[in-house]
């Protein structure tokens, strides 16, 4: 909402979509227009006039050619609903307040009907496949929505003025033509019904989350404009952003009603937002940070922590936060990845320590070296490392006796008392060995940081108790190590990619903020867990019960890609970070595109050649050439990444391996193992080497007989990795394999 004097001017998100398609000069004129309008809507040059009839809609002049259509919400409160060429007729406009969501909806019926007529089937022929004959709509096709009555559509929140035209739709292409201009809820409901979702599920999963909590007065436009369901710009900067940033900047300005509810709500304790890939969890986390900062009293400290799993993701969060709120916002927020944060805590406590921190694969190599030296062939290095990190460090098991009693839920293979004694001895040797070598693992750092922070929290609480007992006297202080007064490190903590944090990370974060309203806000999706850190937050002191919500509309990927990705997940069950299970029910998209390509090859050499040919065909056929940085290829191993890179090089295609620090901004197609693509997105995605024995790895397949529980866990992780890779794609997905396809493709291929 932008105000000058007493005039309020807002911009409806649907109008913004129209504006994106306008010539640059008109966008500039629109920016000038809104300033003049806010100064004085009656300025003669604006030619403000009411459209004929009793309509609330007015038109105003932007330039010689273009007019803004505005809905008058109250005396001096205006909403831009459309920007049109002056020759386009205005007599089939429809607007109103949706009786379910309470949001303002606007539809130009003429534009909707033209879009349906114009709609060309979106199928893009695969460049390596022979061209398919053009698909003509069947001559006597049945209308699509006969199974639902008008009353049922209305109950789901479909815009009533559109019902007659909905009744005429007979093909999916026509439906896509309609949803391009239909109000958001109408689009989502129709696609869900069309995709075969039962009425009750659509009502519960699509409509209910955006329904207004109170009865809706469909005449009260002022109130309607303030509801999250009316998606409008909220500030002057936002309007400029919407005009300048185009499609890429929309996330900064227009939140989905389901997203904005989560951003603005006051939570009485820790809260968690789940949801499938691309549903805007990170966007919600960023807006949440901005919201929390806006509630802070003025100051120069950083009372808000925004954290995530690794360095790349933290760098990405920082730059997006900067885009969202500039230096001013960043000045109040600490953005750190969680391991870095833990290391800082440990270094603060042990300033002289020079220990080198090693990752899991280096640690497993160290285990192997130790077992070789001890000539211990009865134990597997990976098993011991997992046992040490997940059971011993994960549960803060401090003594041998405690280890005998420790729960090993989900660890598979039973280990008896004598085996536990042997494991305990080996882990002791291992930690001594690391100490001697001046090394520590990230798990050790996290565990140490958690202990230090818990200790600090206990001291803070003790002071608080003393203060209370002394009648609130404020002269009881304790100094922290660095000479400052002891206090909680942060007022609010926001965590992205929460599914992959270690138990010790959670303990550390819990102790870093007081148990208060809006203390912790976590976003994450357990279907995308690609590391081994399964947790039950409740047991770590983070109680999210009753404060858990889920996003379900994907903004990233098409319905076709989403459907294939869900086939990869199959029937597996996933947890909700708190000991119960979670599903992706309701996960959907209103974007449409081609069906993912499936490409069998005879061997790895011919697979590499086929991938090169596929990319060269894109370069040759695409109407609009896609820059190679918008294409990514995921492979199972680093070795395969190198081999594929060199094959592409032989064909003149530059490929860039992305490492732990991400891509370095040089031009070229990004290649990397699946781990590297977490949190990223690309226009076109190729997944290579999706063969049996590679995904999951042969070593995992072998566990099927020897340790079924561990097999299930490892296989699920491999499945999640493939799911993450598939859902990085915005427009197209191609899956290649050689020999026998991965078992995870079974449902896709049947």
Beta pairing, strands 520-523 & 548-551: unpaired
User: Least separation, in Å, of the C-beta of 561 and ligand ATP?
Assistant: 12
Residue 325 marked as a ligand binder: no
Nearer to ligand ATP, 364 or 551 (CB): 551
Residue 279 marked as a ligand binder: yes
User: Least separation, in Å, of the C-beta of 727 and ligand ATP?
Assistant: 6
Rounded to 5°, the CA angle 15-18-22 comes to: 130
Helices and strands per DSSP (H, E), number in the chain: 27, 26
**CA 579 to chain centroid:** 22
Residue 410 marked as a ligand binder: no
Residues 670-699 within binding reach of ligand ATP (CB under 6 A): 679, 681
Q: What is the size of the binding site for ligand ATP (CB under 6 A)?
A: 21
| 259 in contact with ligand ATP (CB under 6 A) | yes
Angstrom CA distances, 740 to 83, 201, 600, 603, 689, stand at: 55, 37, 9, 10, 10
| 16 in contact with ligand ATP (CB under 6 A) | no
DSSP 697: B
User: Least separation, in Å, of the C-beta of 610 and ligand ATP?
Assistant: 27
| 250 in contact with ligand ATP (CB under 6 A) | yes
- Long-range contact list for 648-653, CB < 8 A, 24+ apart? 648/608, 648/611, 648/612, 648/615, 650/612, 651/612, 651/615, 651/616, 653/612, 653/615, 653/616, 653/628
| 228 in contact with ligand ATP (CB under 6 A) | no
Q: Where are the alpha helices (DSSP H) in 355-416?
A: 360-374, 381-386, 400-405
Binding mask 262-291 for ligand ATP (x = CB under 6 A): -------------x-xxxxxxx--------
For 739, residues 6+ apart whose C-beta sits below 8 A from its C-beta are 602, 603, 691, 692, 693
Nearer to ligand ATP, 678 or 738 (CB): 678
- Residue 71 near residue 79 (C-beta atoms within 8 A): yes
User: Least separation, in Å, of the C-beta of 250 and ligand ATP?
Assistant: 4
Using the contact rule CB under 6 A, the part of the chain among 90-98, 103-111, 249-257, 356-364 near ligand ATP is 249-257
248: left (phi over 0), alpha (psi -120 to 50) or beta: alpha
Binding mask 515-554 for ligand ATP (x = CB under 6 A): ----------x--x--------------------------
Nearer to ligand ATP, 67 or 550 (CB): 550
Find the binder of ligand ATP among 224, 243, 255, 540 (CB under 6 A): 255
Residues 704-733 within binding reach of ligand ATP (CB under 6 A): 727
By C-alpha distance, which of 353, 350, 357, 388 is closest to 371? Answer: 388
Q: From CA 270, how far away is CA 267, in angstroms rounded?
A: 7
Rounding to the nearest 10 degrees, give the CA dihedral for residues 225, 229, 230, 231. 140
Nearer to ligand ATP, 262 or 633 (CB): 262
Using the contact rule CB under 6 A, the part of the chain among 76-84, 163-171, 246-254, 698-706 near ligand ATP is 246-254
Using the contact rule CB under 6 A, the part of the chain among 253-261, 300-308, 575-583, 639-647 near ligand ATP is 253-261
User: Least separation, in Å, of the C-beta of 284 and ligand ATP?
Assistant: 7
Residue 280 marked as a ligand binder: yes
User: Least separation, in Å, of the C-beta of 186 and ligand ATP?
Assistant: 17
Q: From CA 52, how far away is CA 47, in angstroms rounded?
A: 15
Tokens of residue 233, six digits: 């710009």
| 556 in contact with ligand ATP (CB under 6 A) | yes
| 388 in contact with ligand ATP (CB under 6 A) | no
Residue 278 marked as a ligand binder: yes
User: Least separation, in Å, of the C-beta of 170 and ligand ATP?
Assistant: 31
Tokens of residue 609, six digits: 């050649």
> Cβ-count burial of 547 within 10 angstroms (0-12 exposed, 13-18 middle, 19+ buried)?
middle
Buried b (16+ CB within 10 A) or exposed e, 482-506: eeeeeebbbbbbbbbbbbbbbbbbb
Tokens of residue 621, six digits: 């056929």
Using the contact rule CB under 6 A, the part of the chain among 84-92, 248-256, 288-296, 352-360 near ligand ATP is 248-256
Nearer to ligand ATP, 251 or 604 (CB): 251
User: Least separation, in Å, of the C-beta of 125 and ligand ATP?
Assistant: 27
Nearer to ligand ATP, 38 or 556 (CB): 556
User: Least separation, in Å, of the C-beta of 496 and ligand ATP?
Assistant: 7
Return the H-helix or E-strand segment holding 635.
strand 631-635
Nearer to ligand ATP, 254 or 604 (CB): 254
Nearer to ligand ATP, 78 or 254 (CB): 254
By C-alpha distance, which of 504, 509, 506, 500 is closest to 532? Answer: 500
346: left (phi over 0), alpha (psi -120 to 50) or beta: alpha
User: Least separation, in Å, of the C-beta of 290 and ligand ATP?
Assistant: 14
- Residue 447 near residue 431 (C-beta atoms within 8 A): no
Nearer to ligand ATP, 254 or 574 (CB): 254
User: Least separation, in Å, of the C-beta of 393 and ligand ATP?
Assistant: 27
Beta bridge partners of residue 59, listed in sequence order? 49, 69
Residue 101 marked as a ligand binder: no
Residue 277 marked as a ligand binder: yes
Beta pairing, strands 669-673 & 655-657: parallel
User: Least separation, in Å, of the C-beta of 622 and ligand ATP?
Assistant: 21
Contacts to ligand ATP by CB under 6 A: 250-251, 254-256, 259, 275, 277-283, 525, 528, 555-556, 679, 681, 727
Binding residues for ATP: 275-282
Binding residues: 275-282
């Amino acid at each position: 909402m932008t105000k000058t004097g007493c005039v309020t001017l807002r911009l409806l998100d649907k109008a913004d979509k129209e504006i994106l398609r306008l010539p640059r000069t008109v966008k500039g004129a629109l920016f000038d227009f809104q300033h003049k309008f806010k100064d004085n809507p009656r300025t003669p040059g604006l030619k403000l006039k009411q459209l004929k009839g009793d309509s609330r809609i007015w038109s105003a002049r932007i330039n010689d050619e273009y007019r803004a259509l505005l809905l008058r919400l109250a005396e001096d409160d205006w909403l831009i609903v459309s920007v049109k060429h002056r020759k386009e007729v205005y007599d089939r406009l429809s607007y109103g307040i949706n009786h379910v969501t309470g949001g303002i909806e606007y539809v130009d019926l003429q534009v909707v009907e033209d879009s349906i007529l114009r709609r060309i089937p979106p199928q893009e022929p695969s460049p390596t496949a022979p061209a398919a004959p053009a698909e003509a709509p069947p001559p006597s096709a049945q209308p699509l929505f006969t199974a639902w009555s008008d009353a049922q559509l209305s109950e789901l929140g479909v815009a009533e003025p559109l019902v007659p035209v909905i009744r005429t739709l007979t093909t999916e292409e026509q439906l896509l033509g309609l949803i391009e201009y239909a109000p958001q809820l109408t689009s989502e409901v129709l696609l869900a019904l069309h995709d075969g979702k039962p009425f009750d599920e659509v009502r519960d999963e699509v409509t209910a989350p955006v329904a207004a909590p109170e009865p809706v007065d469909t005449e009260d436009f002022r109130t309607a404009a303030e509801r999250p369901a009316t998606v409008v710009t909220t500030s002057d900067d936002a309007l400029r952003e919407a005009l300048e940033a185009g499609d890429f900047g929309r996330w900064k300005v227009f939140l989905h009603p389901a997203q904005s509810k989560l951003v603005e709500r006051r939570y009485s304790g820790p809260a968690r937002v789940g949801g499938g890939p691309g549903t805007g969890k990170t966007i919600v986390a960023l807006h949440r940070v901005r919201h929390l900062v806006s509630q802070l009293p003025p100051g120069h400290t950083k009372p808000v922590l925004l954290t995530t799993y690794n360095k790349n993701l933290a760098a990405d969060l920082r730059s997006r936060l900067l885009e969202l709120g500039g230096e001013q916002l960043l000045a109040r927020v600490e953005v750190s990845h969680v391991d870095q944060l833990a290391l800082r805590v440990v270094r603060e406590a042990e300033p002289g320590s020079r220990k080198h921190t090693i990752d899991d694969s280096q640690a497993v190599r160290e285990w192997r070296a130790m077992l070789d030296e001890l000539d211990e062939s009865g134990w597997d290095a990976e098993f011991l490392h997992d046992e040490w990190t997940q059971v011993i460090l994960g549960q803060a098991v401090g003594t041998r006796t405690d280890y005998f009693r420790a729960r090993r839920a989900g660890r598979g293979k039973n280990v008896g008392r004598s085996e536990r004694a042997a494991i305990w001895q080996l882990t002791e040797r291992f930690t001594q060995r690391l100490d001697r070598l001046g090394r520590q693992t990230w798990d050790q750092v996290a565990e140490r940081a958690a202990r230090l922070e818990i200790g600090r929290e206990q001291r803070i609480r003790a002071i608080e108790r003393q203060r209370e007992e002394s009648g609130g006297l404020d002269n009881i202080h304790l100094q922290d190590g660095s000479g400052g007064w002891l206090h909680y490190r942060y007022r609010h903590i926001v965590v992205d990619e929460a599914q992959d944090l270690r138990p010790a990370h959670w303990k550390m974060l819990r102790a870093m903020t007081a148990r208060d309203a809006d203390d912790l806000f976590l976003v994450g999706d357990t279907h995308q867990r690609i590391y081994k850190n399964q947790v039950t937050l409740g047991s770590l002191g983070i109680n999210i019960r009753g404060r858990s919500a889920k996003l379900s509309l994907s903004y990233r990927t098409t319905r076709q890609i989403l459907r294939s990705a869900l086939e990869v997940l199959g029937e597996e069950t996933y947890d909700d970070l708190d000991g119960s299970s979670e599903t992706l029910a309701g996960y959907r998209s209103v974007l449409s595109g081609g069906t993912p390509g499936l490409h069998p090859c005879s061997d790895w050499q011919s697979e590499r050649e086929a991938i090169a040919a596929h990319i060269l065909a894109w370069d040759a056929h695409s109407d609009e050439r896609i820059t190679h940085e918008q294409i990514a290829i995921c492979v199972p191993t680093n070795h395969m990444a190198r081999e594929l890179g060199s094959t592409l090089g032989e064909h003149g295609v530059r490929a860039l391996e992305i490492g732990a620090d991400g891509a370095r901004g040089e031009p070229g197609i990004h290649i990397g193992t699946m781990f590297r693509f977490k949190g990223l997105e690309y226009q076109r995605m190729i997944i290579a080497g999706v063969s049996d024995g590679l995904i999951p790895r042969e070593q995992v397949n072998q566990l099927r007989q020897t340790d079924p529980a561990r097999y299930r866990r490892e296989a699920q992780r491999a499945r999640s990795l493939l799911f993450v890779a598939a859902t990085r794609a915005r427009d197209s997905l191609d899956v290649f394999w050689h020999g026998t396809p991965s078992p995870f493709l079974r449902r896709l291929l049947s």
